[in-house]
Amino acid sequence: MTLTINSKELKRHLQTAKKIAPKKCAMPILAMAKVEISNSSLKITTTDLELHYCATLPISNPGNPWQGCLQIAPLIAALNTSESTICTASPDTLTINGLKLHSVPASEYPTFEVPASPKIATLDLTQERRDLLTLAAPAVSKDPTRYNLACWHFKGTKSGLTIEACDGHRLHSIEIKTDTITESALYPSKFFDVLSSTKSLDTLYCHKLAAQAESITEVLSARATDVTYPETSQVKPKRTSTTLRNINKQELISLLEPIASIAPKSEPYVKLEISEDIKLRATYSSPEHGTYSQAMNGFSLKGEPLTLGLNFRYLLEALTALPKSVTHVTAKFDGPLGPTIWQGLENTEVLIMPTRI
């Protein structure tokens, strides 16, 4: 039998599924998508045994039920028209726009169960909330040896929910005011990588043992990560010796970008000098590239003058992740060796550890 389906929507769901399917795995079937066709819909399922994605699309001219596992890349390539015709005449192949795709029995595809657990919070994924998650994303650890930091920490507090990302050198935290929450959980970073690129998912359900994002036609799930997250409250400074307010964000980015263009990745450090006369001066120096120094002012300074070393790439990532509506930031310093805190949005903090230079 032959049925018709919207190619654009099917391709969009398959591209999301492709982000979850592992490229290299001991189970080759995980690189496939499970396709199930019923009398009224087509369902796509994919998993890497940590994440699970499911999408359902309506179909025209319903035919015989069919199910099987197919390679995702050829499936996407076959969708080269605005509407695609799918033939389910053979139980071992699926023909899309004349291209025959051989399948693996659906019974061989692994199952994924979301464990039942207490709910922590329910979040509507508004654009504002997505902007907050984008702000925290750069701080998630990419170091495979620090697997306990390759996740997002959802921590319940008396005033609501705190979301943290930390790689051992910086800490990005977001506070979302809700009812009092007592539970906490850790979710894999890959879950939020997929979530951030899938704009159609509009609600996030956070549970003790799992997270689930949903829309009318899609469900993205992930098991919570069973690792021990560091106690970040011990890192946050107890006092502030110097505060800079109303720093123009774009001017600060322009101050750091020339340094980023000449400094190698192995030397991401800059010297910051803060005083009543200079206000803020950034200096980069190396034997190979010489010395670059530039100053800016136009903001208020309160407290002691100081000189410290800072990873300018961390600061640039935090500044560029801020929404365009944020035009000014505030910086707080706890001496030359204490953590620095940068704030651009209410209830958000970017903490960067200084370095000796």
Question: Domain 2-108: what homologous superfamily?
Answer: DNA Polymerase III, subunit A, domain 2 (3.10.150.10)
Strands (E), 109-202: 119-124, 151-156, 160-166, 170-177, 184-188
pLDDT at 63: 66
Q: What is the pTM of this model?
A: 0.87
Domains 119-230 and 242-352 share a fold: yes
Q: Do 13 and 44 meet the contact criterion of CB atoms below 8 Å apart?
A: yes
25 token code pair: 């795995």
Of 195, 262, 184, which is closest to residue 227 (Cα–Cα)? Answer: 184
Angle between helices 312-321 and 249-262 (to 10 degrees): 140
pLDDT at 1: 65
CATH number assigned to the domain covering 242-352: 3.10.150.10
Q: Domain 119-230 is of which CATH architecture?
A: Roll (3.10)
pLDDT at 72: 92
pLDDT at 95: 87
pLDDT at 107: 92
Phi, psi angles (nearest 5°) of residue 262: -110, -25
pLDDT at 211: 94
Rounded Cα distance, 78 and 95, in Å: 9
Query: What are the sequence ranges of the domains in the chain?
Result: 2-108, 119-230, 242-352
Rounded Cα distance, 164 and 233, in Å: 11
Kindly give the confidence (pLDDT) of every residue in the chain, 357 residues in length, as a single tens digit, with 9 standing for 90 and above: 678 888 899 999 999 999 999 888 888 899 999 999 888 889 999 999 999 999 999 887 766 788 999 999 999 998 888 888 888 778 888 888 888 889 999 999 999 888 888 888 888 998 888 888 888 888 999 888 888 899 999 988 887 889 999 999 999 999 888 776 778 899 999 999 999 989 999 999 999 999 999 999 999 999 999 888 888 888 888 888 899 999 999 999 999 999 999 888 888 999 999 988 778 999 998 888 888 899 998 888 899 899 999 999 999 999 998 888 889 999 999 988 899 999 988 788 999 999 887
